[in-house]
Structure 1
């Protein structure tokens, strides 16, 4: 039997030199993207920042903040052209493993209720809705709520 295997993605810690590639992806997938300063500040603060590469090209990234035994996933993104390959799930699995490596007991994240694909991914990975943060995100019509989700690690 001969099966075609998709080339794997690799993960490594984000570096300041990755910010140009990150900033090329961020505004293409979010109407209200993080700024370069948000990513730079995350690196300076010592957050666990990761990039996902495929064939030497940065295709995704994640920013994880650890506070004691809680992990807060602040940003996880895959370039729009790379959606549908399962790399978002793989990157999420990676950062869950990172949080466990830091002895994390819970992981939290916020997601827009309008982001149906992200909600489906998080639910399929075992995240549960804890509450709703009213008016959390900027939106074209004012503000959008955030669904607060958590996963026991």
Structure 2
């Protein structure tokens, strides 16, 4: 089954739902509520060249939170700060869509590469990143609070792999 997801910039009004999904998906490494407010303090609607953060939420047609993604962009690098998809929305291309939105926004801001860290014990997320052109460059031993390693992955941003614009990726898709 394919659902339509509506993607929009994250606001403070989204944080309670985002935090609930964060705790549900990442019980051992969930960000505290203050992290989300701090990150949003560095965002804009996309028109402020000084803004270093961009965050989006994806909702179902019924308004339920299906996922979220956020990035930090300090040129020449962009970094995936977070990416999450609710279990009931997984397998419908939402993770790919959110990641590609972030990549397109990083490219539009002039980033030369996107970096991320992913738990070494999360093969599903790693598979998504590999499919989208990321490759492992380093392992941070015992990075997470439970002692799990983090795999650092990188995607160079070249004209050869340019997706559509970030604006195109925000519009509803079936």
| Structure 2: segments with no counterpart, 5+ residues | 44-52, 158-174
Aligned residues: 146
Q: Deviations along 1:10-60, whole A, 9 cap, x unmatched?
A: 221100000011012111111221111111110012311111122122211
Residue 144 of structure 1 deviates from its aligned partner by 1.2
**Are 1:99 and 2:125 matched, yes or no?**
no
CA contact (8 A) 2:3 2:92 kept: no
Distance 1:12 1:22 in 2: 13
Work out whether residues 28 and 80 of structure 1, in 8 Å CA contact, stay in contact via their aligned partners in 2.
Answer: no
Correspondence for 2:57 among 48, 51, 65? 51
Shift of 1:7: 3.8
Q: Could you tell me how far apart the structure 1 residues matched to 2:101 and 2:150 are?
A: 23
SS of structure 1 residue aligned to 2:16: helix
Structure of greater relative contact order (alpha carbons < 8 Å, 6+ residues apart): 2
Whole-angstrom CA distance in 1 between matches of 2:33 and 2:26: 14
CA RMSD of aligned residues (A): 1.3
Q: TM-score scaled to structure 1, two decimals?
A: 0.90
Conserved? CA contact 1:69–1:106, under 8 Å: yes
CA distance in 1 between counterparts of 2:90 and 2:3 reads 15
CA distance in 1, matches of 2:124, 2:60: 22
Secondary structure of the structure 2 residue equivalent to 1:89: helix
Is 1:129–2:133 an aligned residue pair?
no
- Aligned partner of 1:27 in structure 2 is 23
Aligned positions of 1:69-148 closer than 5 A: 69-139=76-146, 143-148=147-152
Tell me how far apart the structure 2 counterparts of residues 26 and 145 of structure 1 sit (CA, whole Å).
20
Structure 1, unaligned runs of 5 or more? none
- Tell whether the 8 Å contact from 1:48 to 1:63 is kept in structure 2 after alignment: yes
- Higher share of residues assigned strand: 1
Q: CA deviation at 1:79?
A: 1.1
